Amino acid sequence: MLERRMNEQAVAIRCRACRKTFTPEAGESGVWVCGHCRGKNPNLARHFRSVADLCVFGLLAALFFLARRLEAGTRDWRTLAQAIHAALFVVTIVLTYRAATPWRSVTIKTLIWVVFVAALALNVGVPMWLSGKMYLPVLAVYGAIFWYLAWLHIQAAKCTPRHP
C-alpha cells in the first residue's frame, strides 16, 4: 500500500551527500540510495512507521493505566489526562500510517513529540513528583526514544527538498 502511494506521488528526497533530489524506489525496505552519487539516505517511511509502532505500544500502556485508574474508581484530572493521551496516540498512529510522506507533515511531527513528551510527563514526571522516587530505568528508555526522535527530525529536515 505504501509503495503504491509513493509511486502515485513520486516522492522526491534530497540526498544528504550531494544535495540533489531523487525518487527512492517503491518498496525499498533498506536505506534509500541516491541515483546520482550512490549515497545512502535513511528510509524515512520505515523510520516513521517504527515511531508509529512505538505509539502502538504507548497506546497499549496508556489504555492499561487508564483501565487501572477507572477500575480503582479514580476519576480526577490524571484520569482525564490519560484518556486524552490515549486519544492523541490513536490520532498520531492513524495519521502516520495513512500519510505517504509523514516526514513532510508538520502536524505528524508535532503530534509525535507531543505524545512522547506527554507520556514522559504522565508516566514518569507526575509519579516522581508525587512519590519523590526516581525512576532511572524508565528515564533511560525515554532518553533513548527522545534521541531517536531528534535524529529522525534532523534527518527529515535534511532529506526534504525545500520546494513543495
Confidence band of 163 (pLDDT split at 50, 70, 90): low
- Within-domain flag for 11: no
* pTM for this model (two decimals): 0.76
Neighbours of 126 (CB within 10 A): 14
pLDDT over 60 at 5, yes or no: no
Distance of alpha carbon 34 from alpha carbon 37, whole angstroms: 6
pLDDT (tens digit, 9 = 90+) per residue, 12-35?
Answer: 778 877 878 877 776 666 778 887
pLDDT over 60 at 40, yes or no: yes
- Within-domain flag for 83: yes
The parent domain of residue 66 ranges over: 44-159
pLDDT (tens digit, 9 = 90+) per residue, 81-138?
Answer: 888 989 999 999 999 999 888 888 899 999 999 999 988 887 777 677 667 777 677 7
Total tally of structural domains belonging to the chain: 1
- Within-domain flag for 80: yes
- Within-domain flag for 137: yes
Q: What is the pLDDT of residue 27?
A: 60
- Within-domain flag for 37: no
pLDDT over 90 at 156, yes or no: no
Distance of alpha carbon 87 from alpha carbon 63, whole angstroms: 10
Distance of CA 57 to the CA centre of its chain: 12
- Within-domain flag for 3: no
CB 135 within 8 A of CB 128: yes
- Within-domain flag for 20: no
Burial of 61 (0-12, 13-18, 19+ CB in 10 A): middle
- Within-domain flag for 143: yes
Mean pLDDT throughout 53-82? 86
